[in-house]
């Protein structure tokens, strides 16, 4: 029986073994380096800090997938609101983990043709440009404004996080929106690309509308993502699905791929500004990737609806805490 199990799950066991080796090797390496440098790790040894942070971020990754959001939108407000870690480092790491998670998810979406390349090329340009502008603005505020800039970031992020919680409550995504009329500008852009839907066993054709409005919204979403270190899936999916009327699966996949493009550009100003702290960033990244993989498997077997109210409570709690810190 054991041999049959091992043969059947040989590929999965190989992945688990590889992940464990990466975690153990990275933890040992960073533990040795930071033990020699005497870096503060909240009273824990660097090795213990690495392992604990990896486990915490794994849980965040699992809950994020079950709630249908990116890990960054939970990671950044929680660590900014409830830890003494510098907000610039937290935002830098939040952008980094959002980027890595999106890169992991982007490949199968592109290979299957669900992510619309034309739509990605159109939306990624304003999103990436304004995400870089946001990250540059974050660096300026960190160096020039000091405590005033820190308070502004905390208060503004608190308001945004509460608004995200409200958005989770009121938004109603439509799996296959009906399009009556297409505006002339969007029609000239020729953005729709049919894809094969496995669940229906047929090719899905769809239309898109209001491209100019969506492009303006992507500028704002990119600015918020770069400035506050948030993953942008919470905003991109409604823009694609509710503004442009793209099918929900197309909206979700395009959102993931666009995050991988825009945040890859936006992370560099944070790195140049000294916001990337390896002992914090690496275990956070490893934990969220593992949690995403685990959550994806769990999501196939359980109804994840009960997680969504919990995430909404977390969003409101973190938002209120950030506003309180801003005014303190």
Mean pLDDT by 10 residues, the chain (328 residues): 47 47 44 44 75 89 72 82 85 86 76 84 91 91 81 86 81 75 85 80 87 92 87 81 86 84 88 86 88 72 63 82 83
Residues 6+ apart with CB under 8 A from 54: 23, 27, 283, 284, 286, 287, 290
**Listed residue (205, 156, 151) closest to 179, CA to CA:** 205
Q: How far is residue 255's CA from residue 251's CA, in Å, rounded to a whole number?
A: 6
Q: How far is residue 65's CA from residue 291's CA, in Å, rounded to a whole number?
A: 8
For the entire predicted model, the pTM comes to 0.77
pLDDT at 101: 77
**Listed residue (79, 109, 105, 103) closest to 92, CA to CA:** 79
Q: What are phi and psi of 273, to 5 degrees?
A: -85, 5
pLDDT at 294: 83
pLDDT at 29: 43
Q: How far is residue 142's CA from residue 58's CA, in Å, rounded to a whole number?
A: 29
**Listed residue (224, 209, 221, 253) closest to 126, CA to CA:** 221
Residue 197 bridge partners (DSSP) = 202
- Classified as helix, coil or strand, 202 is strand
Q: How far is residue 150's CA from residue 141's CA, in Å, rounded to a whole number?
A: 8
DSSP state of 69: S
pLDDT at 130: 94
Q: How far is residue 141's CA from residue 143's CA, in Å, rounded to a whole number?
A: 6
Residue 74 contacts residue 231 (beta carbons within 8 Å)? no
pLDDT at 136: 93
């Amino acid at each position: 029986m054991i041999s049959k199990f091992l043969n059947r799950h040989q590929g999965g066991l190989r992945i688990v073994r590889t992940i464990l080796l990466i975690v153990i090797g990275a933890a040992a390496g960073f533990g040795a380096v930071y033990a020699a440098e005497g870096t503060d790790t909240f009273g824990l040894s660097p090795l213990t800090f690495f392992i604990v942070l990896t486990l915490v971020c794994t849980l965040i990754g699992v809950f994020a997938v079950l709630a249908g959001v990116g890990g960054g939108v939970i990671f950044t407000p929680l660590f900014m609101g409830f830890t003494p870690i510098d907000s610039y480092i937290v935002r830098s790491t939040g952008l980094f983990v959002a980027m890595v998670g999106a890169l992991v998810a982007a490949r199968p979406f592109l290979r299957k043709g669900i992510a619309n390349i034309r739509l990605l090329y159109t939306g990624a340009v304003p999103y990436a440009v304004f995400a870089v502008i946001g990250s540059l603005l974050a660096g300026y505020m960190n160096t020039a404004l000091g405590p005033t800039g820190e308070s502004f970031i905390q208060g503004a992020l608190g308001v945004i996080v509460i608004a995200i919680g409200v958005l989770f409550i009121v938004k109603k995504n439509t799996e296959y929106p009906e399009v009556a009329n297409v505006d002339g500008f969007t029609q000239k852009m020729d953005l729709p690309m049919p894809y094969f839907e496995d669940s229906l066993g047929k090719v899905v054709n769809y239309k898109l509308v209001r491209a100019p409005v969506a492009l303006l919204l992507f500028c704002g979403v990119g600015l918020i993502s770069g400035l506050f270190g948030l993953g942008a899936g919470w905003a991109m999916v409604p823009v694609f699905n509710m503004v442009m009327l793209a099918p929900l699966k197309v909206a979700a996949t395009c959102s993931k791929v666009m995050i991988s493009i825009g945040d890859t550009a936006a992370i560099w100003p944070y790195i140049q500004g000294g916001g990337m702290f390896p002992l914090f960033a690496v275990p956070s990244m490893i934990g969220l990737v593992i949690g995403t993989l685990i959550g994806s498997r769990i999501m196939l077997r359980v109804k994840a609806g009960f997680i969504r109210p919990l995430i909404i409570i977390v969003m409101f709690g973190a938002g209120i805490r950030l506003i309180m810190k801003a005014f303190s």
